[in-house]
Structure 1
Amino acid sequence: MSFRSSPSRQRRTARHQRFRLHPAQAVVVGFALTIAAGTALLVLPIAKAGPGGANFVEALFTATSAVCVTGLTVVDTAVFWSPFGQVVIMLLIQLGGLGIMIFASLIGLVIARKLSVRSRLNTVTEAKQIGFDDVRGLVRGIVKISLLIEAAVFLMLLLRFTLGYGYTFGEGVWFGLFHAVSSFNNAGFALYSDSLMGFVDDPFICLPLCAAIILGGLGFPVIMQLKKEFRKPLHWSMNTKIVLWGTGVLLVGGWAYITALEWNNPDTFGPLTPWGKILAGFFHSVQTRTAGFNSVDIGMMHDETWLGMDVLMFIGAGPAGTGGGIKVTTFAVLFFIMVTELRGEGAVNIFGKRLSRAVHRQAITVVLIAVGAVVAGAALLMVISGEPMDQSLFETVSAFATVGLSTGITNEISTFGQIVLIVLMFLGRLGPLTLGSAIALRERHILYELPKERPAIG
């Protein structure tokens, strides 16, 4: 005997499926709702240090920058926001760094001790995991790693602030906690008006922050594999090897580049000791991994330094972590495609493995969309606010790559220019492919192929 659903039940099912979000859409909506909630909290008079409250654009820009773990600001975080407002910013940074879907899954595990299939799909999509197994272990692992690293950095900063700078225990706890969360999540928010310029030659402040930034930028899949198989490099995935090698090369290359160009600059590294210059160079190379702290005035750096930092920021950190940019893996894939083409080989091989052809298209898509977004954003800033090209480009790359470094023009540009940066931060945090697939109404399965033809290239 067969049973047929009633018409009313079929209509309810159809409506439910119509409004069910694709996992990519759920990630986008989750971030958007979190930004909206953060904006609502920051608009409250209690969130502002002085009389009155923040205006809508100030609150929206700050909430977007915090959730997208960027660090660009249109107001001085240290003096504009009240302790309540600063706590809201710190919580938004933590939520944005962990990932909205991952946090929602954590709540589901705590309350219901289980995850629905939809929650698992959303979590896997945001964490960019290929496998669907043990999603609960994935969520627990990400949260545990985040809290352990933040706790370690917090303790080091607490000791330094209290023993080295005479902070009270309460001040040390607050400043240590805020900057530990901000650094691991690659956010770049600081509770000092000059960011970290007061600690430019202090390794006990700079190096713990750098360690947290680098670890957060590696990405959770890499950290979790290193945790399990640190002594078995032969078992490491292609993703892990690319991220580790790429991160090392870019950190050392950026360190040498920035230090060499700024060594004698009287407005940045010039007054420092040789050790201070080396530390400052390393610190700012790490910041281009998409963190956003600065220990010297970025606006006084040479134009050539800005250009090199643009490239480093645009590449960014590892996938599925707290960093931004087009990702080290995307850049590496394009590099190996180029090498393969120059050699005249057929397949792209990386670390003894053949690269899937689908990844070629994804990497090209991400880069082209990223270049288009950055160029369009820079052009709009130049037209709207009349800023020079080098500063406009630096600002838009910093926003799209969710870095947070600035030449000092963020609070000077017009409201429409700030909205442009908000859009770039949102797009950069979610990634072009995630946002694009979320916008698409459905996937198209074409059942035919057209004839091949080759246009002339080059």
Structure 2
Amino acid sequence: MWPLPKPAPGPQPPDGAVVSVRLPFSFRFQHPAQVVVAGFGLVIAAGTLLLTLPVATASGEPAGWMAALFTSTSAVCVTGLAVVDTETHWSAFGEVVIAGLVQVGGLGIMTLATLFTLLVSGRLGLRARIAAQAETKALSMGDVRRVVRKVVLFSLLCESVAAAVLAARFLIGYGEPFGRALYLGAFHAVSAFNNAGFALWPDSLVRFVADPWICLTVAFACIVGGLGFPVVFELARAWRRPRTWSVLTRITLGTSLALLLLGTGVFLATEWSNPGTLGRLDDPGKVLAAFFTAVMPRSAGFNTLDITQLYPSSWLATDLLMFIGGGSAGTAGGIKVTTIGLLAFVVWAEMRGESRVNVGRRRLPDTTQRQAVTITTLGVALVGLATYLLLALTPHGLDVVLFEVISAFGTAGMTTGITASLGTAGHLLLVVLMFIGRIGPLTLGSALALNTRARHYELPEERVIVG
């Protein structure tokens, strides 16, 4: 117990008076990003405790702490990597816990906390508004209440539609009992929309590689969830007036479409004759499988092709897609398509010798450009460091280790099959990567920086040779 400070000399309060004592320490959040980090950490801890309960496993034996921690982190961070088979290791209770953690992680801790505050009190304080804004990426604090309501309602609507389609397909096409079909549809709809990648089959969705009802429903749920809520809301409001779209929407849609088309083309060209992947399918099946494989690295994590059978060139293409990820303020991970899109405009402006970076009829502020460079640099540095450490800790080669690291950082959840064999140290490293990848390198850095300093002077400028 901390000793109480001695009373200062001088007149003392009368007996029975209430004395206010300042403890030798105080803890409070000084930055909204710290609330986001702490919120995700608490939910991961709670999920770990629930998954260690005997009722959470199919065998009735308590799960190991490492398996529980890894699974909880993977679920909350909507990654999908697993050290144990989801269907055979966890009970129905454990699977429901995982789905709940995925839902909480997808919507965001602060989004749910804001909703609960609104339901209980009907009003929102300034500190809670700022914290919610940090998670929902709302463009102004006045939009937070409206955004939170829309986020939750839109998420539930999309998940319900996807669950209904999947459940009907499982019921009619595969003869599953009604209750089982409904459960499978709901679980995979939540996992797909939140870009989590958890599946209730050991081979993910490989058995449905030629089923357009399953593949397209899951793919479009992943795409919608990964676009980002601000983009989706703007499209719903002004989809007939593309000229009025914001820079965020234009960059997100343009870059996402380009990556989908490019990824589909690359996988078709590379894997067309591979007997272990596309080679065994007919032409429509090849296009469907290539499209699905191009969507999933963008943080979704499902797979209809055996990842271990892909050519190394396809692994490299998957690495790049996983690192980029999806849209800002969505359920996808990675450094975000907006970051890559902004950097492309920066490079284009620099090559043309322009002093300002313009997108359409708008000029990008210098702070936005610095944020894009910072996020990309931190991401590359983190992936490089983690790859080196995992190579030193495990006997696996560079290609599979790099794939695993980028999958964890980009919260993609795809694996070449080495996750379970990485050992405790490797699993802890992936846990850290998934956590950082979900909350974002810049958010974590802001949370650790307790104070911001304002510079009241400028230093003389000096040109440096670059390149």
Residue matched to 2:245: 236
93, 97, 114: which one aligns with 2:102 = 93
Q: Which residue of 1 aligns with 2:376?
A: 367
Q: C-alpha separation between the residues in 2 aligned to 1:13 and 1:380?
A: 41
Indicate whether 1:343 and 2:381 are aligned.
no
Alpha-carbon distance, 1:58 to partner = 0.4
Could you tell me how far apart the structure 2 residues matched to 1:115 and 1:195 are? 42
In 1, Cα distance between the equivalents of 2:150 and 2:22? Answer: 38
Query: CA shift at 1:231, angstroms?
Result: 1.3
1:401 aligned onto 2:413: no
Q: Matches of 1:295 and 1:321 in 2, distance apart?
A: 23
* CA apart distance, 1:115: 1.4
Residues 167-176 or 346-355, more deviating:
346-355
Q: Deviating runs (4+, > 2 A) in structure 1?
A: 8-16
Mapped partners of 2:100, 2:285: distance in 1: 33
The corresponding residue for 2:114 is: 105
Between 1:132-141 and 1:420-429, the stretch displaced more is: 132-141
User: Where does 1:17-416 land on structure 2 (aligned, <5 Å)?
Assistant: 19-416=28-425
- Three-state SS of the structure 2 residue aligned to 1:322 is coil
Q: Secondary structure at the match of 1:136?
A: helix
Amino acid of the structure 1 residue aligned with 2:36: V
For residues 249-282 of structure 1, the C-alpha deviation after alignment (integer angstroms, 9 at most, x for no partner) is 0001001101211111111111111111111000
CA–CA separation in structure 2 for the residues paired with 1:9 and 1:185: 51
* Contact 2:29-2:35 at 8 Å conserved across structures: no
Q: Which residue of 2 aligns with 1:422?
A: 431
Q: Distance in 2 between matches of 1:258 and 1:10?
A: 68
**Aligned-partner Cα distance in 2 for 1:328–1:24:** 21
CA distance in 2 between counterparts of 1:13 and 1:248 reads 56
Q: 1:380 is aligned with what amino acid? A: L
Q: 1:9 to 1:294 in 2, by over 3 A?
A: farther
What is the CA–CA distance in structure 1 between the aligned matches of 2:45 and 2:462, rounded to whole Å?
48
- SS of the aligned residue for 2:460 comes to coil
| 1:204-243 per-position Cα deviation (integer Å, ceiling 9, x unaligned) | 1000111100001100010111111111212211001100
| Deviation by residue 1:410-451 (Cα, 9 ceiling, x = unmatched) | 011111011111111000110111000001111111222221
* TM norm structure 1: 0.96
In the alignment, the residues of structure 2 paired with residue 334 and residue 75 of structure 1 have an alpha-carbon distance, to the nearest angstrom, of 39
CA displacement 1:158-202 (0-9 Å, x = unmatched) = 110000000000001100000000000000000111100110000
1:134, CA displacement in angstroms? 3.2
Change (3 A) 1:104 1:12: farther
User: In the aligned structure 2, how far is the partner of 1:69 from the partner of 1:191?
Assistant: 15
Cα distance in 2, alignment partners of residues 352 and 9 from structure 1: 62
TM (norm. structure 2) is 0.94
Tell me, in whole angstroms, the C-alpha distance in 2 between the residues paired with 1:81 and 1:260.
39
Give the whole-Å Cα distance in 2 for the aligned partners of 1:247 and 1:236. Answer: 16
Q: CA RMSD in A?
A: 1.7
Alpha-carbon distance in structure 2 between the residues aligned to 1:12 and 1:97: 39
1:4 corresponds to which residue?
none
Residue identity opposite 1:180 in structure 2: A
Query: Which residue in 2 is equivalent to 1:5?
Result: none
Q: SS at the partner of 1:411?
A: helix
For the 8 Å contact 2:136–2:148, the answer to whether it is kept is no
Query: Among the aligned pairs, what percent are the same residue?
Result: 50
CA distance in 1, matches of 2:142, 2:242: 23
- The answer for unaligned runs of 5 or more in structure 1 is 1-7
SS of the residue corresponding to residue 420 of structure 2 reads coil
Corresponding pairs, count: 451
Superposed displacement of residue 130, structure 1: 2.3
Q: Contact (CA 8 Å) 2:138, 2:147: kept in 1 or not?
A: no
Alpha-carbon distance between aligned partners in 1 of 2:216 and 2:362, rounded to the nearest angstrom = 35
Secondary structure, in 3 states, of the residue corresponding to 1:317?
Answer: coil
Distance 1:386 1:270, change over 3 A: same
